[in-house]
Amino acid sequence: MSELPRLRPDVEPEIVPELDKEQRLTLIQRQAMELIPAETSALASAKSGYYELPMLKEPSWSWEIPLYLFVGGAAGASGVIGAVARLSGASPRLVRDARRIAFVGSLVSPVLLISDLGRPARFLAMLRVFKPQSPMSVGVWVLVAFSGGAAAANVGGWLKSHSSYAVLARLMQTAGDFGVLLFGLPLATYTGVLIGATVIPAWNRNISLLPTHFAASGLAASVGLLELMGHRSPALQALGMGAALAETGMGAAIELNPDPAVEPLKHGPSGWLIRVGGVLSGPIPLALRTISLFSKGNRAAKLRKYAAISFVVGSAITRAAWIHAGHVSARESRPA
């Protein structure tokens, strides 16, 4: 047995270590050293906060919520289109279809919200109070009121064509249209306030942009859906141009915002999602619609159909992108 190096050669050791046991200790030490991460672990600092851990919590919403933003926005805008279309004496078929989208949307929306909450009673818990300082509370009441209006307008429309209760039908349609118009406008816009009035930086820095952005997005989705249902009125074309123009402006505003807090809207996967949603809602349908104005017959119809599809897909992606960006923004939050 060879001699081991001794720490204090002047002191005679009381025990003589065995080489294999010492080698075992060396092995354990080597294994332990392998556990040390190659890079030094994070430190707390004024810049990175507490070990670069997020200061804020990420939103707890599941996939139903971005989908609700899309459905609710499309329903609200469809309600407005339906009511104005009836007022202006447009085609009854357009009025009927716009009302239908509004109605279906107003039925699907609570289902999505309940699915996110877990059970129906939890949705009802929001109907025990009205809190004007909570956009969530305001929104749920707007949705309920809108549902009532949409139901009345649809039932009224059905009665008119399927029964002889003309007066009742007219009354229900008028009351329903009024309700749908009155609550469709906030339904299409409040979701911007909902996510804007939070502590999530990427959202609250855009508080003034979001309601307009979401209104344009809802309008785009509604126009797109109506066009896909076969409506080709110049009014829808004009509305579509307006919405596409607005969305193009929104996209530019997002891209040009120099605030570091809105980075998640411009970079990384969330940034690209915002960009794809924006391009599909703005420049692409704008170009397609402009070309379709100078095209004839089948070609024009086809171009408008593509623009419509681009609108619907773009609107849906936009909503999902904003929620996703909120997650990234919360993850990257540091005390500042």
Partner 1 sequence: MSTTSAFLTDSTLCIGCKACEVACKEWNGVAADELVWSGLSYDNTLSLGARTWRHVKFVEGISEAGKGGNDPAGSPWNFSSDVCKHCETAGCLEACPTGALVRTEFESVYLQPDVCNGCGYCVVSCPFGVVEKDEEDGRAFKCTFCYDRQKAGLTPACAKVCPTESIQFGELEDLRERAKQRIAELKDRGIGDASVYDPVYSAVQGTHAIFIVRGDQKMYNLPPNPEVPTTYLRAGWTSAAIAAGAMLAGTLIAFLGAGGKRL
Query: In the range 62-101, which residues lie near partner 1 by CB under 8 A?
Result: 77, 80-81, 84-85, 87-91
Q: Is 57 in the site for partner 1 (CB under 8 A)?
A: yes
Q: Is 31 in the site for partner 1 (CB under 8 A)?
A: no
Sequential DSSP letters for 5-53: P-S-TTSPPSS---HHHHHHHHHHHHHHHHTS-SSPPP--BTTTBTTT-
Q: Which amino acid is at 112?
A: L
**Of 212 and 257, CB closest to partner 1:** 212
Write down how long the chain is: 336
Q: Is 330 in the site for partner 1 (CB under 8 A)?
A: yes
Q: Considering only residues 289-328, where is the footprint of partner 1 by CB under 8 A?
A: 326
Q: How far apart are CA 137 and CA 44, in angstroms?
A: 39
Which residue shows structure tokens 């997005």? 217
Sequential DSSP letters for 247-271: HHHHHHHHHH---GGGGGGTSHHHH
Q: What's the min distance (Å) between Cβ of 49 and partner 1?
A: 5
**Of 84 and 229, CB closest to partner 1:** 84
Q: What's the min distance (Å) between Cβ of 202 and partner 1?
A: 11
Q: Provide φ and ψ at 61, rounded to 5°.
A: -75, 145
Number of continuous H segments (helices) and E segments (strands) in the chain: 12, 0
Bridge partner residues of 49 (DSSP): 45
Which residue of 189, 270, 281, 318 would you call a contact of partner 1, by CB under 8 A?
Answer: 189
Q: How far apart are CA 282 and CA 242, in angstroms?
A: 10
Q: What's the min distance (Å) between Cβ of 205 and partner 1?
A: 10
Which residue of 37, 38, 161, 164 would you call a contact of partner 1, by CB under 8 A?
Answer: 37
Q: Is 126 in the site for partner 1 (CB under 8 A)?
A: yes
Q: Is 59 in the site for partner 1 (CB under 8 A)?
A: yes
**Of 59 and 155, CB closest to partner 1:** 59
Q: Considering only residues 242-261, where is the footprint of partner 1 by CB under 8 A?
A: 242
Q: In whole angstroms, how large is the CA radius of gyration of the chain?
A: 30
- Considering only 13-21, 24-32, 229-237, 287-295, which stretch makes contact with partner 1 by CB under 8 A? 229-237
- Please count the residues of this chain forming the interface with partner 1, following the rule CB under 8 A: 87
Q: What's the min distance (Å) between Cβ of 17 and partner 1?
A: 31
Q: What's the min distance (Å) between Cβ of 314 and partner 1?
A: 17
Q: What's the min distance (Å) between Cβ of 52 and partner 1?
A: 9
- The 10 Å CB-count burial string (b at 16+, else e) for 136-149 is eebbbbbbbbbbbb
